[in-house]
Structure 1
Amino acid sequence: MRTERTHTRWWALGALSFAELLVMIDNTIVNVALPTLARDLGAGISGLQWIVDAYTLVFAGLLLTGGYLGDRFGHRRMLLTGIVGFMGVSVLAASSQDIGQLIASRAGLGVFAALVFPATLAIITTIFVDARERAMAVGIWAAVSGVAVAIGPVLGGWLLEHFSWTSVFWVNIPFGVLALVLILAVVPGTRPLAVPRFDAVGVVLSVAGLGLLTFTLIEAPHVGWTEVRTILGVVAALVILSVFVTTQLRIAHPILDVRLFANRRFATAAGMISVAFFALFGFIFLITQFFQAVKGYGPLAAGIRTLPFAIVMAALSPVAMALSHRFGPRVVSVIGAFLMSGGFALVEISSRASGYWELIVWSMALMAAGLAFISGPCTQLIMDALRPEQAGAGSAVNDTTREIGGTLGVAVLGSILTSAYVAGVGERLSDGGLPAEAVDAAKQSVMAGVEVADRLPGAMGDAVQVAVQQVFMDGLHNAVWAAVAITATAGVAAAVLLRGSGPGSQAAADEVDGGALRGERKGSEIEGEIPAGTA
């Protein structure tokens, strides 16, 4: 019986990882389709950013709610509901006729993804009760999260090579059906023993605060950081989040136990994951455009060239968890931050002529290694600080750090690139004597600039293409400098703030920083044949 239950538990991990893969791939599967969407739907750079960020914005804003609903109504129930809804909205996205419909559909996908993602980690932490097995399971889950983001462009590129851009959404239907079958077959249902009162106020405040803050930060580079709209948006978001924190401290069953952030290791680990995914999402947004606009690769060729990221991430994630167990998460995550910073620093010496195997693949390998060293160990730090009945909301905090970090990575790094590109290409093409209409068209995006060059005859077209690509590289270098600084700063901060989180010290550290937070552990039941604690 024990062997049967053990096998079932690991089969369940496989099913949950596939469901996680389904929603995480959508973060980046559209990236290689951006040039096609710019052409077919007439989207400029801002529109392209919103195609990516509408999904992650809503995803991030509703993750706390998704985790809380799972705690209240059962994680498997929310998981199944999310997958069915995700499939339904995918049909709407594939049927979009203009940029507005597509952005709205991407936002709808984010709603249902927010039900799926926290449920996967919450169920994993419930059915894996042995500390060593749980660490391994969480490491696999974290690896799938990173790998999914990296292989999104590969799958998207293959689909675009054979079908239209709508295929990146139609593919969710067969994947969703397979996920439903696997979950119904091997994943046990969960329900809390004591169902707390629904925190409707907390849900509304968390959605409003996180949504407004993320929206304002995304739009700020476009409307200006010193504009009244930006300042009021940030202030209003902070006020809402302050009210959210105050109410969470006063009620008996909050959607989020904000006292967890008094635990230095919990808060630092959440911040590290946010920084890592900030860098990852931002880099993939930039590099897929580099491959197509500068190197001239098609969607599939561009996607395949991001595959080493996924391979390195998958290979090193179990290594990272083993090293974390041996040396502690502090050492491993600090090394990870500096590996990511080093990978971005390599991009700074790249040029239009840089070869893929001579430079780019090595920078991606360093970034992937860094992400593997941060993601698993820091996820384990977060989940170790949670009581069982906090599994859904707590895992949602972990997930929220990923999505908010990724959303801001696309917004901030993309906007730094955009600012440099728009100013630089306008100046260089105007000086070259091009008509104002051609210059304005080239400003829309780097792919639009390449298309303008392709329409011009002979030497003039070549000169415009060189100018467009060079200005893009200038913007890329500017954006990457921000990533170098942020990841390096995170490494220094983790070295200081994760003191005491070495091997064998977590229990004592929790007593110092978070012992009062953990409280009396309450069990949970598993509906079906696999009871909690014996699965």
Structure 2
Amino acid sequence: MEHSTSTLAATSAQPTGQPIPQTTRSTHRWLALAVLALAQFLVVLDASIVNIALPTVGAALGLSTAALAWVVTAYVLPFGGLLLLGGRLADRFGHRRVFLIGVAGFAAASLAAGLSVDGTMLLAARAVQGAFAALLAPASLALLTQLFPDSAARGKALGLWGAVAGMGSAAGVLLGGVLTASFGWSSVFFVNVPVGILVLVAIPLLITRDRRGTAERMDAAGAATATLGLAAAVAALSEGGSLGWTSPIVLGLGVAALALLTAFVLIERRAAHPLLPFAFFRNRDALAGNIVMLLVGGSTVALFFALSVYLQEVLHLDALSAGLSQLPLALALVGIAGVVPAVVSRVGLRPTLTGALVVLGAGVVWFALAGTTGFVAGLVLPSIVIGLGLGATFVTATQLAVRGVGESDSGLASGLVNTAQQIGGALGLAVLGGIASAQTAALLAAGSGATAATAGGFLLLFLGVALLAVLGAAVTALVRSR
């Protein structure tokens, strides 16, 4: 079992035969966890909260539809591209220090986004938000693993963490609609500022200072190729649906991503202190957890993007009603957090994760096939099932991805989990969104009405989300621990 960063040097003086007391980085670790989870909630929330506000943003700042897509992409690109580097920087310079830098930068960029007077200012602020989120996210999860070195408590902590991460995606639809309708589009950014200040005040009071960082040199070449390669890959996946997969821009980004990531692999094999030691993947739990998170990220981003459109264009709900309709899903996510650790302790981590993925897939299929059968049977009940499956999946997949990881690699493991989720999200949205768009166009050409054509396209998207969940269950069963 790993030691936390506050492990006392005096443990060597412990009398022979006496148990060595476990120490953590906080005497109020559950309160510290709540503050860390709140920061993580904002990071996940900001990837989705702007979706419903986009039409209002476009009208206020005079942005075209293509430019509005970049309000989301400008955040996702640096976030996904810099996560791996952010995790290693946290390992190198201190997890608390890097976390606080990330929170401060994220809050400042959020303030700038809310004050934007034109599209250029907004896109620049969103890019800065994503860059600082890439520091915040892996450092916060690494701090969690140090706060809870004992496996039983860590399971409960990761249960809360996974629920918060999943709820951030669901709450984006809910809060985006409520805030935009009540206070205007700027409020979806301003809400981050007071929360960021609260986190900046609380964490230094709750978590001890970092130990002195390691003296090893940073892998600059690996960091550059990984960051640029991941950013190019996310950009290609994000723009493929709108520009077309044969667009010179998309093809150029794809070739650049392939070349840079190939160079990254070659560099890491020879580096004295690699950014990503490939021996890390000898931990089959971490390998399986990251593959599942890749698939879950793809299904989640595609699902909530589709919901924000489906609820308004097919079910004809306004922005506020569309947001409120997701409240049962969000409540189910929160409710499952306290149950999953007990289930894991009784039946095991992998069986619980497999079952959660099956429940998620079943809920999405129910929602897809229910159509407009009624508010309760067609929307509320399948949303609850989706929330239960999604919440349990985030809890157990995160727990699997960091199981058995030592303190010196906790930032790396956390960065990988978040990277897998972001890359999976870009890939899932690009592929499944493209399939939905093609089906909608085909139905329109065949003479279907706009509502029926949109519903037909999203039917395929929802079934694709369910398929990704089933694939995740298969990976969980096949990639076994050594």
Question: What TM-score do you get using the length of structure 2 for normalisation?
Answer: 0.88
Which residue number corresponds to residue 170 of structure 1?
190
For residues 189 and 407 of structure 1, do their structure 2 counterparts lie closer, same or farther at Cα, with a shift above 3 Å needed? farther
Alignment of 1:130-529 (within 5 A): 130-192=150-212, 194-226=214-246, 229-351=249-371, 353-422=372-441, 424-425=443-444, 428=447, 467-498=449-480, 500=481, 509=482
Q: Which amino acid letter does the alignment assign opposite residue 373 of structure 1? A: A
Q: Which amino acid letter does the alignment assign opposite residue 172 of structure 2? A: G
Q: Which amino acid letter does the alignment assign opposite residue 109 of structure 1? A: Q
Instruction: Name the CA distance, whole Å, in 2 between partners of 1:225 and 1:150.
Output: 29
Is 1:12 the counterpart of 2:32 in the alignment? Answer: yes
Is 1:63 the counterpart of 2:45 in the alignment? Answer: no
Q: Which amino acid letter does the alignment assign opposite residue 337 of structure 2? A: S
For residues 421 and 105 of structure 1, do their structure 2 counterparts lie closer, same or farther at Cα, with a shift above 3 Å needed? farther
Q: Which amino acid letter does the alignment assign opposite residue 280 of structure 1? A: T
SS at match of 1:295: coil
SS at match of 1:481: helix
- Please state how far the C-alpha of 1:145 moved relative to its aligned partner: 0.9
- Please state how far the C-alpha of 1:423 moved relative to its aligned partner: 5.5
Instruction: Name the CA distance, whole Å, in 1 between partners of 2:418 and 2:389.
Output: 18
Instruction: Name the CA distance, whole Å, in 1 between partners of 2:57 and 2:381.
Output: 30
- Please state how far the C-alpha of 1:214 moved relative to its aligned partner: 1.4
Contact residue 57 and residue 403 of structure 1 kept, 8 A: no
Contact residue 54 and residue 106 of structure 1 kept, 8 A: yes
Q: Which amino acid letter does the alignment assign opposite residue 379 of structure 2? A: I
Question: What TM-score do you get using the length of structure 1 for normalisation?
Answer: 0.80
Instruction: Name the CA distance, whole Å, in 1 between partners of 2:63 and 2:71.
Output: 9
For residues 98 and 355 of structure 1, do their structure 2 counterparts lie closer, same or farther at Cα, with a shift above 3 Å needed? farther
Larger Rg: 1
For residues 335 and 292 of structure 1, do their structure 2 counterparts lie closer, same or farther at Cα, with a shift above 3 Å needed? same
- Please state how far the C-alpha of 1:314 moved relative to its aligned partner: 1.5
Instruction: Name the CA distance, whole Å, in 2 between partners of 1:243 and 1:77.
Output: 31
For residues 409 and 95 of structure 1, do their structure 2 counterparts lie closer, same or farther at Cα, with a shift above 3 Å needed? farther
Q: 1:129 aligns with which of 149, 155, 176?
A: 149
Q: Which amino acid letter does the alignment assign opposite residue 143 of structure 2? A: I
- Please state how far the C-alpha of 1:493 moved relative to its aligned partner: 2.7
Which residue number corresponds to residue 10 of structure 2?
none
Contact residue 294 and residue 425 of structure 2 kept, 8 A: yes
Is 1:120 the counterpart of 2:140 in the alignment? Answer: yes
RMSD across aligned C-alpha pairs, in angstroms? 2.5
Which residue number corresponds to residue 49 of structure 2?
29
Is 1:82 the counterpart of 2:102 in the alignment? Answer: yes
- Please state how far the C-alpha of 1:123 moved relative to its aligned partner: 0.9
- Please state how far the C-alpha of 1:322 moved relative to its aligned partner: 2.2
Aligned residues: 462
State the Cα deviation string for residues 433-462 of structure 1 (Å, max 9, x = none).
Answer: xxxxxxxxxxxxxxxxxxxxxxxxxxxxxx
Which residue number corresponds to residue 9 of structure 2?
none
Deviates more, 1:186-195 or 1:268-277: 186-195
- Please state how far the C-alpha of 1:343 moved relative to its aligned partner: 1.7
- Please state how far the C-alpha of 1:76 moved relative to its aligned partner: 1.4
For residues 108 and 420 of structure 1, do their structure 2 counterparts lie closer, same or farther at Cα, with a shift above 3 Å needed? farther
Instruction: Name the CA distance, whole Å, in 1 between partners of 2:272 and 2:23.
Output: 40
Instruction: Name the CA distance, whole Å, in 2 between partners of 1:153 and 1:130.
Output: 36
Unaligned runs of 5+ in 2: 1-20
Is 1:72 the counterpart of 2:92 in the alignment? Answer: yes
- Please state how far the C-alpha of 1:488 moved relative to its aligned partner: 1.6
For residues 48 and 364 of structure 1, do their structure 2 counterparts lie closer, same or farther at Cα, with a shift above 3 Å needed? farther
Q: Which amino acid letter does the alignment assign opposite residue 337 of structure 1? A: L
Instruction: Name the CA distance, whole Å, in 2 between partners of 1:42 and 1:418.
Output: 25
Instruction: Name the CA distance, whole Å, in 2 between partners of 1:43 and 1:477.
Output: 30
Instruction: Name the CA distance, whole Å, in 2 between partners of 1:239 and 1:2.
Output: 46
Unaligned runs of 5+ in 1: 430-466, 501-508, 510-535
